[in-house]
């Protein structure tokens, strides 16, 4: 019996020691290698927000593409010629009702701005269009010849898309001009906030993004009671209404267009009722408050409704 006990103890000890030393521990399961994909979140407003430029700043600051090849032999006009006429450099659309202010006598007197704003914002809207004959709505696509003359004419489009850093923007050095602009803004905006010569970040109120406008239009369409029918494709109802900053309807909505179709009148009145119903359910209060102001803000909305679909 002693031999057996000794043999058993020896065997167990050997096995335990072997298990401690040599027996491999549990290995972790192999993990499948997952390729990581870089994902960028791009909001629509990044694409729709457009920075505003200055009205009469340095033209050289504009990052115009320099033609390396085929340099235009035409000598660029000196920038001083631009100064008397503050042409809209930015691609932002001008206000809908630009007061044809008188010519802004831009005497280059080095008078500092009366209110020392921390952010020297540019003039938001090139309201003081000196030539009233010129239609302001077509500002972005049309390269102003005076402006583009500062850069080589090889590519006419880029100067309209000048994206200037806010640091480079200088206050218009004419206080009279600022005052005029303030007045023009105050006329057009229903906001109680004092209209500034610029906006906070040098970014113009871009207004609602496209999908936000779509959401509003969709909300109205859902409340729009209409008979399911085959309507002509060009039949649409454009309603226009004003909103308070709290997202409530202010004033009565109106229909902006007309159509010879006999069903148009019914559709139009139904669309107006739909606007009232959306307002009664508080649908407009979802709109972001910071986008209320400005000519593109949602203080006034004008969604286009199509009865089909």
Binding stretches for other proteins (CB under 8 A)? 1, 3-5, 7-9, 11-12, 16, 19-20, 23, 25-26, 28, 31, 36
Rounded least distance, CB 11 to other proteins, Å: 6
| Count of beta carbons in the 10 Å neighbourhood of residue 289 | 12
| Count of beta carbons in the 10 Å neighbourhood of residue 211 | 13
Rounded least distance, CB 46 to other proteins, Å: 24
Tokens of 279: 């307002």
Rounded least distance, CB 8 to other proteins, Å: 4
Q: Which is nearer to other proteins, 36 or 112 (CB)?
A: 36
How far is the C-alpha of 128 from the C-alpha of 83, rounded, in Å?
A: 13
Q: Cβ distance 127 to 95 under 8 Å?
A: yes
Rounded least distance, CB 180 to other proteins, Å: 55
Rounded least distance, CB 26 to other proteins, Å: 5
Residue 51, classed as helix, strand or coil, is strand
Q: Which is nearer to other proteins, 28 or 230 (CB)?
A: 28
Q: Which is nearer to other proteins, 12 or 248 (CB)?
A: 12
Q: Which is nearer to other proteins, 27 or 167 (CB)?
A: 27
Q: Which is nearer to other proteins, 4 or 228 (CB)?
A: 4
Give 48: exposed, middle or buried? Use CB within 10 Å, 0-12, 13-18, 19+. Answer: middle
**What CA–CA distances, in Å, run from 115 to 33, 74, 178, 180, 199?**
60, 42, 10, 15, 15
């Amino acid at each position: 019996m002693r031999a057996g006990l000794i043999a058993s103890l020896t065997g167990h000890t050997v096995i335990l020691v072997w298990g401690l030393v040599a027996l491999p521990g549990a290995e972790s399961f192999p993990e499948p290698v997952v390729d990581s994909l870089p994902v960028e979140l791009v909001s629509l407003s990044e694409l729709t927000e457009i920075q505003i430029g200055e009205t009469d700043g340095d033209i050289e600051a504009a990052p115009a593409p320099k033609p390396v090849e085929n340099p235009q032999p035409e000598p660029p006009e000196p920038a001083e010629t631009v100064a008397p006429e503050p042409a809209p450099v930015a691609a932002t659309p001008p206000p809908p009702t630009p007061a044809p202010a008188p010519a802004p006598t831009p005497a280059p007197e080095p008078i500092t701005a009366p209110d020392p704003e921390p952010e020297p914002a540019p003039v938001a809207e090139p309201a003081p269009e000196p030539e009233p004959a010129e239609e302001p709505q077509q500002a972005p696509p049309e390269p102003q010849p005076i402006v583009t003359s500062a850069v080589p004419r090889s590519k006419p489009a880029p100067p309209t898309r000048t994206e200037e850093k806010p640091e480079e923007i200088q206050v218009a050095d004419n206080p009279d001009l600022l005052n005029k602009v303030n007045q023009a803004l105050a006329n057009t905006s229903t906001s109680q906030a004092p209209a500034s010569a610029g906006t906070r970040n040098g970014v113009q109120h871009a207004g609602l993004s496209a999908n936000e406008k779509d959401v509003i239009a969709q909300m109205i369409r859902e409340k729009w009671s209409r008979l399911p029918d085959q309507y002509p494709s060009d039949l649409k109802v454009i309603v226009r209404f004003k909103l308070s900053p709290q997202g409530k309807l202010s004033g009565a909505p109106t229909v902006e267009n007309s159509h010879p179709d006999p069903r148009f009148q019914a559709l139009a009145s139904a669309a107006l009722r739909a606007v009232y119903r959306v307002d009664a359910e508080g649908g407009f209060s979802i709109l972001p408050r910071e986008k209320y102001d400005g000519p593109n803000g949602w203080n006034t909305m004008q969604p286009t409704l199509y009865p089909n679909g």
